[in-house]
Amino acid sequence: MSWLRKALVHLALSRSDEALIKASGGEPRTVRGMTLDPRMQFLEAQARQRAIPWDQLTVAMLRAQTEAGAALFGGGKVSGVRVEKIYVTGRSHSVPCRLYLPTVRDNSAALMVYLHFGGGVIGSLESCHRLCGLIAKEAGAPVISVDYRLAPEFKYPVGLEDCIAAYNWAVDNAARYGAPVGKAAIGGDSMGGLFSAIIAQEMRKTKPPVVQLLIYPGIDFVSDTPSMHEFADAWPLTAETLDFFVKQYLPDSADPSDPRISPGRAQDLRGLAPALIYGAGFDMLLDQGAAYAERLKEAGVKVNYTRFDSLPHGFVAFPSAAPAAEAAIRQIARETAAALKGNL
């Protein structure tokens, strides 16, 4: 992507709220008493104008769009954090990961394993690069971001198994990076949040995470909550996009209601790790995350739930698109850092 295009896009977004709303249809977008950030509303309007018909869209095109978005809006790198490429050992595959090592360390803070968004189909280490750097710096702890395999080339459960392998490796090797021995936290946004919820459930009796970080998580493939309809056309996760992801991710033989696919369907949530759960106001998955937070509380799990009313799904990947997105991921990083030190 050229520096000129990037400069022009950010120049457009630097206009006043009134000018951006006027360029996006003339009226603020308000649903359930929540008003979408004007910069996000502008990007939503632009995306609709340039949308490619779904019968012409391919996985490769979606991935290219996602990487272009990360290049435009991913934000700058975090100072005081060194980044390395590492590989962790899986069952039959070495899983590539990105390791974030802060210059200033706090050996009381647990290592964090982070899983990016994308419906199991798109997304990459770039999608969450700034957030991972901020968590590492705020906590003084290592963060491992997992480059798990994607569908349709690798359908369920391959991506999930890569994430489980990375989490197990992180627990076993935490001390190598100066973190507490035999401990790790798990977290992610969207699909990464779903994977994190599954891992927290599966590991509760063997290698329980210190905390589970779930950012606008999709935790139920068969959910039919009001937000699934109210925000069915909300950028960037529309009903059509979600349907496309499900068809690419799940094999024909899979049961979408299986708790290993839809962790929100699990009956027993007792004894799970403390949870930080964050919702986006303009998101089809909003009600899923809120309901899961309530169920966890009812099961006796410590939960901190926060909703960012003005932001859409996927805001972790767009910190430089709007000050509200940058502020949100900074808040998430601070609160995650505290949780990694046992202060939830």
Assign 3-state DSSP to the chain and report helix, strand, coil percentages, each to 5. Answer: 45, 15, 40
258 included as an active-site residue? no
Sign of the four-CA dihedral 323, 33, 214, 68? negative
Assess contact for 143 and 100: CB atoms under 8 A: yes
Given the residues 116, 196, 287, 313, the one annotated as active site: 313
Assess contact for 80 and 103: CB atoms under 8 A: yes
The number of residues making up the chain comes to 344
Assess contact for 328 and 256: CB atoms under 8 A: no
**DSSP run (H or E) holding 22:** helix 17-22
What is residue 102's DSSP assignment?
E
94 included as an active-site residue? no
Assess contact for 128 and 194: CB atoms under 8 A: no
User: What's the Cα-to-Cα distance from 86 to each of 79, 98, 330, rounded to whole Å?
Assistant: 20, 6, 26
Given the residues 147, 283, 287, 310, the one annotated as active site: 283
**DSSP run (H or E) holding 147:** none
Given the residues 190, 223, 262, 310, the one annotated as active site: 190
Q: How far apart are CA 131 and CA 333, in angstroms?
A: 7
Question: Token pair for residue 217?
Answer: 């998580």
129 included as an active-site residue? no
144: β partners = 99, 113
111: β partners = 184
Question: Token pair for residue 226?
Answer: 């009001």
Closest listed residue to residue 264, CA positions, set 297, 294, 219, 213: 219
**DSSP run (H or E) holding 82:** strand 81-89
CA angle, corner 226, sides to 224 and 227, nearest 5? 95
**Mind telling me the catalytic residues?**
190, 283, 313
